Amino acid sequence: MVRREDMAAFLLRRLAGRLALAVLAMSLAYALAAAALDPRAGLEGRAPRPPEAVVDARLTALNLNDREPLADRYLTWTAGVVRGDFGRTWDGEAVNAELWRRLGVSLRLLAPGAVLGSVVGVLLGAYAATRRGRMADRLICLGSYLLVAAPVFVLAVVLQIAASLVNGVVGVQVFVWVGESTAGASHGVLGGLADRVRHLLLPTVTIALAQLGLYCRYQRAMMLDVLHADYVRTARARGLRRRRALLRHGLRTALAPVTTYFVYAFGLLLLGGIYTEKIFGWHGAGEWLVDSIARGDVNAVAAIVCIAVCGVALAGLISDVLQGALDPRVRAAV
């Protein structure tokens, strides 16, 4: 048995390593944004054009003056981040307030699709492996191949076209996909909930399908490796039915490598969320990132990337915990 203290020490070591990588990634992200983006152009492009001294003073107040050394701007930005302050946007608004509001929108959009897609993908992948070579396996493999090959924005557009056709045939707005629900108290609790579901359905399905294809392919391959393992045959020899032996001994072992894949899938989830927000008109962090890059808003871009890096680091920690719980080899190596 592995002591809790040993497992905690193992997780702390992994967390320290991931935090070091996160700090490096955030520093590089700020340096790249500060070097590549040009907030000065937005101020100088106003009509009438403000005096150069006014532009310099404005950019200096926002820590965006490209005529100051990058190292000085980085130290000022880092000092603010340590205090929990991501600075000001290009137009002088606090980054923190807008960031948390946008993150709430992104979480409402991504969380249901990510959970649904990963769970269904794992189950379908495991089921396809147990039906290897049969029609069900072939159909699932074909569907997962198509989902993996199709970019997220293609899935979103195809779903919008299909929903528009359904609305036209039925003659009622069954599907609504532009933005979040705007239903107020006058619609009642059930009416407001139904309207939220209508607006959330297509974006959630888009995210879920993208995640489903990834997890299904990977889980099927891992499940095939354990179908004829010795411990599965031993369990069946002791009287367990094939389904029970696979669920109790095979699936748990096959899930362990998928926990490592969870980190990479999380990164793809964030990338897919950017496209999904832009296409479906959700005003989340992904849309804000694209708009901030377009107008040279260095502090906003750096803040969004920081949160994304922290999310990936957290996903890595969750992966370590799950892998330690599922894989006895990890516990033995602690």
Return the residue matching tokens 């039915």: 241
pLDDT for the residue numbered 270: 86
* Between 97 and 182, the higher pLDDT residue: 97
Q: For the chain, give the mean pLDDT.
A: 83
For 146-187, the pLDDT digits (tens) are: 998 888 889 999 999 998 898 888 887 778 877 776 665 455
Cis preceding-peptide flag for 48 (omega within 30 of 0): yes
Mean pLDDT value across residues 17-34: 90
* Between 300 and 1, the higher pLDDT residue: 300
Residue 87 and residue 293: Cα distance in Å, rounded? 16
- CATH annotation of 103-283: 1.10.3720
For 283-293, the pLDDT digits (tens) are: 889 999 999 99
Residue 101 and residue 306: Cα distance in Å, rounded? 16
Q: Is the pLDDT of residue 301 over 90?
A: yes
DSSP secondary-structure letter at 96?
H
For 59-72, the pLDDT digits (tens) are: 899 898 888 899 99
pLDDT for the residue numbered 5: 63
Q: Which of 214, 217, 203, 210 is closest to 112 using CA atoms?
A: 203
> Cα–Cα distances in Å, from 183 out to 18, 103, 105, 111?
42, 21, 16, 21
For 250-276, the pLDDT digits (tens) are: 677 777 777 777 777 888 888 888 889
pLDDT for the residue numbered 12: 82
Question: Which pLDDT band holds residue 194 (cuts at 50, 70, 90)?
Answer: confident
| Cα dihedral value 74, 79, 85, 86, nearest 10 | 10
Residue 136 tokens, joined:
């069900």
pLDDT for the residue numbered 161: 92
* Between 113 and 236, the higher pLDDT residue: 113
For 302-324, the pLDDT digits (tens) are: 999 999 998 888 888 887 777 76
Question: Which pLDDT band holds residue 44 (cuts at 50, 70, 90)?
Answer: confident
CATH 1.10.3720 segments of the chain: 103-283
